[in-house]
Amino acid sequence: MLKEKLKDFNIILASGSPRRQQFLRDLDIDFEIRLKEVDEIYPNHLRENEITEHLSVLKSDAFEGTLEPNDILITSDTIVWFEGKALGKPKHFDDAFQMLTSLSGKTHTVITAVTFRTHNTTHTLSEVTHVTFNTLTEEAIQYYLDVYRPFDKAGSYGIQEWIGFVGVSKIEGSYANVMGLPVDKVYQYLLNLVS
């Protein structure tokens, strides 16, 4: 349905994330991947969705002046927000181990911002999901990090992997959002944009 409505548009996904790419494929949307290097730095005073919105727009700004009239650019950023601070991607194994140890038995928030940029407009939306972990043993964390190596993921885990099956006791909100893209909101926004 959406594919037909988008036939006169060129959808550009500026993300190297295999999960975000797969989501767009699963929505049956034709798109191209275009990547630009961006220093993902944000002011220290920003909190929660202010961080993801800032970084998503920053990624979008890298394409300013390069879009054609029929282009729709999609950029995105996801963080785990826990006890007053953002957990991004781990720097190394020990960092990942520490993150998962701190999340064990507690609830954290996953926040994703998505920015849509056209030739002359920019719009950013956010989604928030609350995830509660069971108590994780050191052995379970060690196993997960050794086998799945989630070092490219905010908060050091992928909910669609082993840790999500055995470690997550409760989710409030969008499951897809925890994987890195609030797919329902993206679909709805694109539908409204071209309708």
Catalytically active residues, by annotation: 77
Q: Distance (Å, rounded) from C-alpha 82 to C-alpha 157? A: 14
Q: Are 85 and 45 spatial neighbours (Cβ–Cβ below 8 Å)?
A: no
Give me the sign of the Cα torsion angle 172, 178, 180, 183.
Answer: negative
SS3 content of the chain, % helix, strand, coil (to 5): 40, 25, 35
Helix axes 183-194, 18-26, angle to 10 degrees: 50
Place of tokens 């181990």: 97
The DSSP line for 107-153 is EEEEEEEEEEE-SS-EEEEEEEEEEEEPPPPHHHHHHHHHHH--TTS
CB-based burial label for 43 (10 Å; 0-12, 13-18, 19+): exposed
